Chains A and B, each alone.
Chain A
């Protein structure tokens, strides 16, 4: 069966300037410019939006859930956690 549904583009949506772009879903589109337009109609017709990114799904490289070891942090790493030190919080301009 020939697939006439077009390839998919992942859509990233920025609500207002200063916010990060958030992944909201994907659209089928024949090219990047149409992907932007179709994403606008599917994902921004109600939500406020200042910017959209579209990326062909085939361009996304992702980790594999089956390879849990990719994220393994099994030995002590407290040396890089600011809470692991006895120093007073007042030193930190960001402490509440």
Chain B
């Protein structure tokens, strides 16, 4: 374990936070990569493959920060852990669906990333602060891309509108699971490591509501006491390791070849 870890910061909480982010990125990046070879048009195939590589690359950054805190390499953490130990939100584990669902999911995730990474760029934990600032710069392009697609597809044709609305209906309650509280959050807030999911969710809601409504898409949201409040049941459980069957299949796939010679030469 890291011996020069700042004693005033909560190591457990930081580990939990990093693992949640690492798992989110790995699983979403994996889902994104399922479009390579299948995208609606060649140029988008190329573009989306960049996003998939970036997300998996970001997951690698978080797992690398976890190495001194766990004694495990990124490959060991991603390719040897049981799916029951993953802490990604359930949102990212769902199958890729049609391009509308993928686009809406990517946009909602990218917007959450922007809000989270901006906050973490001021974190009291140095390695986290540095990594967040770096990743934030790459994420700017993702958000431009996914937001651009949402704004265009939301009301382009009758069919695109129908599909995008169906995607939002499905994805929005799932997306709220990104902000499910994690263990040790109060400590993380107190010590300035992380501002907490409640704060992030508020800011995220303000952003996504204006973009989605601007694209003629409806959301189950109401304004109450000056705050936006979702009017749907969020899909929680991921942070508490309660997962969909999809994740089990996904992790089996991810680890299939690796398991033939775990820790071996690949």
Contact = CB atoms under 8 A, between A and B. Distances in A.
A37 to B, nearest CB: 6
Contact of A38 (B46, B141, B152): B46
Nearest to A27: B43
Interface in A30-65: 30-31, 33-34, 37-38, 40-42, 45
Nearest to A37: B145
Given A6-B41, A28-B41, A28-B42, A38 B47 contact: yes
A38 B44 contact: yes
Interface in B132-189: 141, 144-145, 148, 152
A29 B50 contact: no
A34 B43 CA distance: 10
A25 to B, nearest CB: 11
Contacts of A31: 152
A42 B46 contact: yes
A43 to B, nearest CB: 10
A34 B50 contact: no
Nearest to A33: B148
Nearest to A31: B152
Interface residues of B, number: 12
Contacts of B145: 37
Contacts, number: 30
B54 to A, nearest CB: 11
Interface of A: 5-6, 27-31, 33-34, 37-38, 40-42, 45
Nearest to A5: B41
Nearest to B44: A38
B41 A37 contact: no
B148 A41 contact: no
- Name, among A28, A29, A37, A42, the residue most crowded by chain B CB atoms within 10 Å (CB to CB): A37
15 contacts: A5-B41, A6-B41, A28-B42, A33-B148, A37-B141, A37-B145, A37-B148, A38-B44, A40-B141, A41-B43, A41-B47, A41-B50, A42-B43, A42-B46, A45-B46
Nearest to A36: B144
